[in-house]
Amino acid sequence: MEKINIPNHVAIIVDGNGRWAKKQGKNRSYGHKKGFERLEEIIKYASSKNIKVLSLYVFSTENFKRSKEEVDYLMNLFEKNLTKFSDECSKENMKIFFSGRKKPLNDKIIKMMSEIEEKTKENTGTIINFCLNYGGRAEIVDAVKKIANNLTLEQINNLDENEFKKYLYHELPDIDFMIRTSGEQRLSNFLLWQNSYAEFYFPEVQFPDFTKEEFDKAILEYQKRNRRFGGIVYENKNN
Ligand code: FPP
């Protein structure tokens, strides 16, 4: 993969675990297990490529509407793996963030998430932003509530977009490249604010088949895009 023009902030909607498992004649849980294994590999690979921020949609607020069996399986997967995997990431200097609402996640997971953020907060490498119980509209509503509870009317009247950003779950740079696996072409309430000027890419592969080679293909596709940000012509070095 070429070194030039690597996106600063990559976001992935992890999609297709269920369909992937069905194709193998297995249950959806098996797809999530394989999806998690793939996610571990992609996180380490993205970090080795010096991507500064990797945001991952691993559980939306809407996912709580799934069957109890599936929600329980996923919560159990988070509970069993988050700490151990974050420790491995931390050894590689990655900083871990969680974006999303705490409730109705269970207390053990909530505690785990804040401990992981605390433990990795001094790290200076790739930021891994796990969007867990995340909704883009909820994030904006939560930011507005923080603003209303903390700022004076005068400060609110003086807010601009750069200032508003500070009240989101984390202050992150805009997303450069948004990938959704499985061929679905939807944003599904993912990082609405941060995706404003992102380039979108929708590979057909289901997430458990999203290998390092697929990731490289995605980055090559990004490098062909000509970004204009609504007017300013950005000279793509590869064009
Ligand atoms: C979407 O596929 C995937 C999810 C809702 C869950 C993704 C979660 C993981 C891979 C586990 C991450 C684990 C940790 C510890 C961070 P889908 O079920 O919607 O697939 P479908 O569209 O084919 O049904």
| Domain ranges across the chain | 9-137+174-235
Do you find a cis peptide bond into 104, omega within 30 degrees of 0? yes
| pLDDT for 164 | 97
> For residue 19, which atom of ligand 1 is closest to its CA?
23
Q: Is 11 in the pocket of ligand 1 (CB under 6 A)?
A: no
Q: Which of 15, 83, 206 for mutating ligand 1's site (highest number of atoms within 8 Å of CB)?
A: 15
Q: pLDDT tens, 168-179? A: 999 999 999 999
What pLDDT band is residue 34 in, cutting at 50, 70 and 90? very high
What average pLDDT does the segment 126-146 reach? 98
Q: How far is the CA of 149 from the centre of ligand 1 (A)?
A: 35
Amino acid 229: pLDDT? 77
In the chain, the percentage of residues whose pLDDT exceeds 70 is: 95
Topology (CATH) of 9-137+174-235: Undecaprenyl pyrophosphate synthetase (3.40.1180)
Reduce the DSSP state of residue 81 to 3 states and report it: helix
45 vs 221: CA distance, rounded Å: 17
